[in-house]
Structure 1
Amino acid sequence: MKEIRLNAFDMNCVSHQASGLWRHPRDQSDQYHTLQYWTNLARTLERGLFDALFLADVLGIYDVYGSSPDAALRNAAQVPVNDPAMLISAMALVTRNLGFGLTATLSYEHPFPFARRMSTLDHLTQGRIGWNIVTGYLNSAAKSTGKTQQFSHDIRYEMADEYMQVVYKLWEESWEDNAVQRDRNSGIFTDPTKIHPVRYDGKYFTVDAIHLAEPSPQRTPVLFQAGASRRGQHFAGAHAECVFIAGPSKEIVCKTVVSIRDQARLQGRRTEQPLIFSLLTIITAPTREAAWKKYEDYKQYISLEGALTLLSGWTGVDFSQYELDEPIRHVRNDAINSAIDALTILNPDKIWTVGELARHAAIGGMGVTIVGSPTEIADQMEAWMEETGIDGFNLAYAVAPETFEDIVDLIIPELQRRGRYKTAYQPGTLRNKLFGRGERLDNAYIGG
């Protein structure tokens, strides 16, 4: 049986995916700006043997809803949001094995300083860093960095392909393995003959430089990617070691898994790669009755406006123009149509309204929320694994840190009893823990 892998899914903000639940009396996500909040979470996740804390991020503000940032600000819809990279050193200090998947948007930073930042984090975590490669999706982010609007979708991926060529060269080719001598007797710290300038002159990026950081434990961080479009899947097939997907049904997730693996195989990758994690929110308690009571309690605090603000940003549709009871079929946009097509599989005869879509997304975003006792939750997780071909889950929270504590205390012991979850970490870096093949990036990735 395939081991179930788990990442925690969070963001350096208030109520990452659970719109309005920052108001719940037990929620502590409004303490996101304190180190103690994050170091406590890291300890909890390591106690639960999580593979990694997957840190989302966004540059820009959700201003599609009502053509204004006001709703996002009122509802703390991923704003305020702090830099996730700043958290990792502190969390690494209080853990020994937990990995960290850092989302960083390549559209707004030159690859040269970015490569140094990731090498630094890989050193400070002793090889536990991963990079979630994103290209951005908010026009507000583009405007914030001096552009009139975002580049088109396909151009962003063209830029991403170039970006990867540059960072691969910086991480993998600039310093030979034995370049650093640290020879106190000869006085030579680094042998200059083993250092190679990186020269790249592309359509979008030009570099002529020596990578500033000496080789870190992994050199290239573990590569995550979360694009679900056809072009995004092609990019994942070329570069991603782990892929994060979201879908409201097993059928949709299964199709995405097959497509991503096909792309990887076409580009010469191993058939079992990349590892694929699906978005899931778990609400549990010792009994079924207590779990559903907890869920009903949570629902009292959701914000439909907050959920629609996020949905507007994700899809490009201004949902403020529609009544909550308006059928979703009146909303026309490629992104929202695909989302509704996915939901329709759950109930082909149902006509979704805007309000129902908001309620669905208010806890767990566009993923799945499951409620039940530990045995019921474990049953459902196993079914998702078997019926979709995924390798594990990115677990979002409803109430922080309660959701993660419930998973560690109730769900993980049940999965371990079934032999579906590890009882100890593998040694080494994040890459070795995930794949068991050493610290370095597989050559099949480099070059895409």
Structure 2
Amino acid sequence: MAKEIRLNAFEMNTVGHQAPGLWRHPRDRSADYRTLSYWTGLAQTLERGRFDGLFIADVLGIYDVFGGSPDAALRTASQVPVDDPLLLVSAMAAVTRNLGFGITVNLSYEPPYPFARRMTTLDHLTEGRIGWNIVTGYLDSAAKAMGLDRQRGHDDRYDVAEDYLELVYKLWEGSWDDDAVVADRAAGIFTRPEKVHRIRHDGPFYQLDAIHLSEPSLQRTPVLYQAGTSPKGRGFAGRHAECVFVSGPSTQVIGPRVADLRRAAVAAGRQGSDLKVFSMATVVLAETDRAAQAKLDDYRSYVSHEGALTLMSGWTGVDFSQLALDQEVRHVENDAGRTAMDNITRADPNRIWTVREVAEHVAIGGIGPVFVGSPATVADALIQWVDATDVDGFNMAYAVAPETFEDIVEFLVPELERRGRYKRAYAPGPLREKLFGPGRARLAPPHPAARWRGRALADAAE
């Protein structure tokens, strides 16, 4: 049976997220990111198109690798200014009933105890539609903003993340029994104390002795998203992730990564199908191929190549301002993100990238592919991508906001639906059940979160 294609919208509480310079386009509204109406309108559009979720990226710190200065990022609005993503969710949840929300939060600079409460709160307020995109950061500017000299080493950040997740799993899964809250008006008892357990955690990076402040939510642990595809990142995803976000310019790059991720899940005692893998992509749609190409040409007249290289410098830790435009990009390994550099150096040995080509490619849609054409043409391309790589769907970036998402709803969704490759209705239940099926609202063994649920935790802590 052909795989049903899943869609997330890929956004950020900023201007021109993956399309530097396109904020200048006369139809672009991304500069309205500061208004609730922008986000509530977007959420309603996505729900009308039966998107699985809105995946909101975030970054702490500023892109100051390019030219050794934040000036280019500020000039071109390269993911700055940027506001907090968590504060958007309640308003969007209030105007939707099924749309999920995958929110990026950097654990390196987020104390786990208050963070666990915020996520439980959002799971309550969304009635079980919240997910967490687990990131550890890649900018030294973020570390300096938090009073550090620089960020931890790339692989060391995953060691910290393992400890962090064990702690928040204990809070979400083990501190409160499902029947702790009785709200007995006659007896005057709201919560039965014997059903609430103190969490004691003494890990290599975090220590805690506390009771989780929130009663259990529908999902307890939010749906877990993750985006790293380095060897260390794949192992982490295999143990913890439910949804994995991959980015790359071709099926030759993405296919092997998906296979590696599914093998990592199996190595961790899970099933390869326990991971839903979303590939980043951008689509430019119109009634005909010719009209769509004209639309792309129009978009490209507004791009900022400086902004594109500013983003790429931040993602890779390499100052692209020091390289000639026709210079071949060679691999450098450092403590920034690994995936973006691999994409343009060694992931596809048949492709050599120059700096100029990187700037052109990243200027619309980041490092992912751009599919252009009529609904039939784009549907063909997406189906071929899914069938060639074994991804489950796409994180759709925009070129012009919200036009790109409106075009997907108007043109692409009906075409995929007609071909039997897209859902005709949302599945019932919280986000995890929508993604993985009925009876799976909460994480179950062998996922490591499940081992901390209920009495087993209390026995281990006493």
- What TM-score results when the alignment is normalised by the length of structure 1? 0.97
Q: Answer yes or no: is the 8 Å Cα contact 2:345–2:353 preserved in 1.
A: no
The amino acid across from 2:444 in the alignment is D
Q: Which residue is equivalent to 1:440?
A: 442
The CA deviation at 1:322 is: 1.7
Give CA-to-partner distance per residue, 1:245-273, whole Å, 9 cap, x none.
00111011010001001110011002312
Let me know the Cα RMSD of the aligned residues.
1.3
Alignment of 1:294-305 (within 5 A): 294-305=295-306
* SS at 1:272 equivalent: helix
Residue 25 (structure 1) shift = 0.4
1:158 to 2:159 alignment = yes
Q: Secondary structure at the match of 1:10?
A: strand
The separation in 2 between residues aligned to 1:352 and 1:194, in whole angstroms, is 59
1:371 aligns with 2:372: yes
Q: Partners in 2 of 1:165 and 1:328 — Cα distance?
A: 39
Map of 1:30 onto structure 2: 31
Q: Larger deviation: 428-437 or 82-91?
A: 428-437
Query: Who is 2:277 aligned against?
Result: 276
Cα gap change, 1:232/1:176 in structure 2, threshold over 3 Å: closer, same or farther? same
**What's the counterpart of residue 133 of structure 1?**
134
Alpha carbons of structure 1 residues 143 and 433: separation in structure 2 relative to 1, 3 Å: same
Residue 337 of structure 1 and its aligned partner are, at CA, apart by 5.5
* SS of match in other structure, 1:13: coil
Give the equivalent residue in structure 2 for 1:341. 345
Report the counterpart of residue 188 of structure 1 in structure 2.
189
CA distance in 2, matches of 1:110, 1:443: 27
Query: 1:332/1:435 Cα in 2 relative to 1: closer, same or farther (>3 Å)?
Result: closer
| Kept in 2: contact 1:53–1:100 (CA 8 A) | yes
Q: Is the 8 A contact 2:316 2:341 kept in 1?
A: no
The answer on 1:18 being equivalent to 2:22 is no
Q: Is the 8 A contact 1:252 1:342 kept in 2?
A: no
Q: Matched residues in 2 for 1:314 and 1:327: separation?
A: 18
With over 3 angstroms needed to count, the CA separation of the structure-2 counterparts of 1:297 and 1:343, relative to structure 1, is farther
Superposed, 1:96-245 pairs within 5 Å as 96-245=97-246
Is residue 322 of structure 1 aligned with residue 323 of structure 2? yes
Separation (CA, whole Å) in 2 of partners of 1:251 and 1:308 = 23
- State whether residues 326 and 356 of structure 2, in contact with CA within 8 Å, keep that contact through their aligned partners in structure 1: yes
| Separation of aligned partners in 1, 2:348 and 2:356 | 15
Shift of the alpha carbon at 1:153? 1.0
* Shift, 1:384, TM fit: 0.8
Aligned equivalents of 2:182, 2:21: Cα separation in 1: 54
Q: Deviations over 1:43-83 (max 9, x none)?
A: 00000000000000000000000110000000000000000
1:353 Cα deviation (Å)?
Answer: 2.2
Give the SS at the match of 1:328: coil
1:290 aligns with 2:291: yes
By how many angstroms is 1:352 displaced? Answer: 3.0
Shift of the 337–407 alpha-carbon distance from structure 1 to 2, 3 Å rule, reads: closer
Distance in 1 between residues matched to 2:107 and 2:332, nearest whole Å: 30
1:127-170 deviation line (CA, Å, top 9, x unaligned)? 00000000000000000011110011111100000001001000
The answer to whether the 8 A contact 2:246-2:280 is kept is yes
Equivalent residue, structure 2, for 1:43:
44
- Give the % identical residues: 60
Show CA shifts across 1:229-288 (max 9, x none).
100010000000010000111011010001001110011002312110000000010100
Quote the residue 1:396 is aligned against.
Answer: 397
1:182-234 CA distance string (max 9 Å, x none): 11111100000100000001110001000000001110000000011100010
Provide the residue aligned with 1:357 in structure 2.
358
What letter matches 1:106 in structure 2? Answer: L
Equivalent position of 1:414 in the other structure: 415
Equivalent residue of 1:387, what SS?
helix
Superposition map of 1:50-89 within 5 A = 50-89=51-90
**CA offset at residue 397 of structure 1?**
0.2
Structure 2 residues without counterparts, runs of 5 or longer: 452-462
Partner AA of 1:247 in structure 2: G
What's the TM-score once normalised by structure 2's chain length?
Answer: 0.94
Preserved contact between residue 247 and residue 342 of structure 1 (Cα < 8 Å): no
**SS in structure 1 at match of 2:212:** coil
Residue type matched to 1:341 in 2? T
Distance 1:165 1:390 in 2: 28
Q: CA deviation at 1:351?
A: 4.7
Q: Which amino acid aligns with 2:345?
A: D
Deviation at 1:446?
1.8
Contact 2:253 2:343 in 1 (8 A): no
CA distance in 1, matches of 2:52, 2:446: 23
Distance 2:379 2:403 in 1: 18
Does the 8 A contact of 1:317 with 1:333 survive in 2? no
State the alpha-carbon separation in 2 of the partners of residues 191 and 340 from structure 1: 57
Question: Would you say the 8 A contact 2:285–2:378 is kept in 1?
Answer: yes
